[in-house]
Every structure is written in C-alpha cells, then in structure tokens.
A = this chain, B = another copy of it.
C-alpha cells in the first residue's frame, strides 16, 4: 500500500510524517489514519505537526497499515514479544506476532535479547506485520559487543542504522538518565528496573561519563529522521514498586525527556514518552499531568501502571486498573502486562490474557472519553443480551472464542443458543425474561389513567 506513496517522496530530503505535517501537507498515511479513526484529515495533520499525535511508520515498512498514537485518536495497546538465548525460533516469534495482532495489538515490540539470529527474527517479524514494530536497540547492541562496558558511540549508531533500514518504526532510547540522577537512585528500594536503563547506568558508572545516548542524541535523531523512525523516549528511572513511585529520580528524568522532545521535534522526528510502571491509584492523574507539562503533550506510553505490588500471578489485572485510569486521564498507548509479570516468561495463553485485559482497559477509557462511536458495540451487545441472541453476543465480545467456550461449558447444545436464559440463573430466575414478561403483559394506558385519577383524588383532598 505505501510503496507508491513513498516512491513519490523519493526526492524529498526529509520524509517524516512530522516534516510533511509542518509543511501543511496531508500525507496518505494521515488520510488513512483519519479514515480509520473517523477524524478530519486536517485535524490529524495539525496534531502530527504539533507533536501530540504520532504515526510511527518507517519508510521501509511498506506493507504497514498506518496507525496513530495520541489524544485525538483511540487508545492503543502494545504487545511485547521476542526471542531469548533459550528460545529463538523464527516461526515461534512470528506466531506470537500473529497472536498479538489477532487479539488487537496496535503495535508490537520485538524485545529479542540474547538470541543468535536477531536480525533474521526481526526481518521475519516486520515482513509478517501489518502493525508498526518497535525495538529497544540496546539489547542488540549488548549482544553484538558482548560486554556493556565496552560500548562505544559507533556501536550504538551502527545498530540503530541497521534496525532503521530493516523497517523498525520506533526505538526505545534511554537518553534521559543522567549522571546527576545517580544519587537519587541510591535512595530507592528497587533502583533501576528498566533493562536498557540499568545497562546504560552500569556503563556510565564504570566510565564516569554521561549517558552515551544523551551525548550522541543528535546523531540518533539524524538516523530517525532519515527513515522516519519515531522515538519512544525510555524512562530508565520508572519506579519498580509503589515505594519508589513519583520520586525525584523519576520526575527529574521526565524533565530531561521533555528537553529531548523539543530537540527531536526541531529535527522533525516524532516522539512519544514512556511512563511507569508502578503507581498507586491516587498518583496516576498527577503522573499524567506532569508528563503533559514537562514533555509538551507528546503522546504518553505507559507500562500498566500496576497499582499494587502483591498481585503476582494476576498482574495483568492489577495493571489493567492503572492502565484504564491512565488512559482516561490522558495516556495514548498502553503496554500490556501478562499474568507472568514478575514470575517468568509469558506463553501464548498469557499473551492472550494480557492483551484482553488491556483491550478492556483501552476500550473502557475510550468510552469514558466519549470518543465518537466508542460505545456502539457495547450498545449492540446490550440489545443482543436482552434479545437472548447468544450468537450475536459471542460475535460482539472482545474475545468471541472465549465467550462461546464459557457459555458452552454448561449449555453446549445448539438449542441453548436461542434459549431465554443461561446457566447462571436458570430459566425461572432470569431477570430479563421476568421483566419482559411483566412489561409485555402490562396495560400502560390503564396504568397512566389510574395514576392520573389518583393524583386528582389527592389534589381534591
């Protein structure tokens, strides 16, 4: 789809969506997004120009279906996949991608680390993906050099260039963690829980040198600009527990991300900001507002947040609570969390559970934000329920297979697909049925007449 679109732009020096938006040009990607989101194309353009909406779309990911992340569009959900040293099968990763997309992932991050064939895996994932693919390039950098302490600026740029050429649409870059933040980290219960952040910090502490991603940020921007890779500015200092939430370390880094945002926009590079993590319910709104202030309303992309620390085994639920609230308050994309969080590597069923929890969070926030049409399917579902149209109910559910499976667990026979009850209350106690029967047989005109007579009689007394 994008092959023709991008061909036309061959002779333009800059080809990022933000560049065109600032020029007043509505790209085909913006048109596509506007149609998908039911928005005015001019609004999409102006929001992209302003940096409040991003369309992560590497010019080399030509079969990508453009999508947008920002406050005028629907809330998006990201799924994480990726090979490791123990499991690095290309087909398995492509299968995880397909599972993610099936259950509604809007973007997918390939977090492969330690795998031997990372380039091949990434190539296969991008080839198979209709959604933008993001990465944390630090993982491949470490893999290539072996020891993080040996890291050079050239290593960073080499890997970024390679991944950008492959068609990665956004990079998580941990450029906001600075040497001056280190003493604040020592005050925490859990230090640095961002993988990329902790690796970067170990290099900084060893060499007593400033964050390498910060130092060469302009060179990084040049690569992003060339391929239209969006930056997902990583929060190395996101809190790893409620105790560390909203502390000075986190908020000082957030301010640096705001500075970097302006530098990126200056080069027409699209930006989103990564956020926590672990945040108690009463601090979620404040976290969202501070991001909007410090980072100039660049789209906020959060991991959860988890609203408790003792929910292990059910962290998809504890974090979906935080995610729904965050999205309602102003977050644009949610990174899903699976039931295996804090315990181990998720399997395919965990991906499904995590995705569904997050589709629920995103959807319920969109309803609350009154995004036009957001509640349409919910209203159709209510009609189907009241009509006992079970097949329609399964069809409308976010996970139709699961809904049908649960219904059929107790009433599998085809005849029950039109039954005026389910196994929860049985035929005698179904409130829908009881109400319908009572209402249908009721003479409303007579009721009205009686009520009027009663009112008259009372008035005469």
Instruction: Give the residue name and chain of the B residue nearest to A341 (CB).
Output: B424
Q: Separation in Å of the A344 CB from the closest CB of chain B?
A: 4
Is residue A275 contacting chain B, with contact meaning CB distance below 8 A?
no
A14 interface residue (CB < 8 Å to B): no
Q: Which of B194, B314, B435 contacts A431 (CB 8 A)?
A: B194
Contact present for A386 and B307 (CB under 8 Å): no
A281: B residues at CB distance < 8 A: 324-325, 328, 364-365, 367-368
A457 is an interface residue with CB less than 8 A from chain B? no
Q: Are B191 and A406 in contact (CB under 8 A)?
A: no
Mask, A176-201, CB within 8 Å of B = 1, is 00011011011001111111011101
A306 to chain B, nearest CB (A): 9
Q: Are B208 and A423 interface neighbours, CB within 8 A?
A: no
Tell me whether A438 and B313 are in contact in the complex, defined as CB-CB below 8 angstroms, given that A190-B385, A342-B385 are known contacts: no
Tell me the minimal C-beta distance from A263 to chain B in angstroms: 22
Q: Do B280 and A368 have beta carbons less than 8 Å apart?
A: yes
A113 within 8 A of partner (CB):
yes
Q: How far is the CB of A267 from chain B (nearest CB, A)?
A: 28
Q: Chain B nearest CB: distance from A435 CB in Å?
A: 4
B409–A378 CB distance below 8 A: no
Q: Which residues of B contact A403 (CB under 8 A)?
A: 312-313, 343
> Out of B142, B180, B439, which one reaches A205, CB within 8 Å?
B439
Interface bits A336-378 vs B (CB < 8 Å: 1, else 0)? 0001111111010000000011001101110111100001011
The 8 closest A-B pairs by CB, nearest first: A281-B368, A241-B382, A309-B378, A202-B438, A313-B402, A307-B364, A191-B435, A282-B368
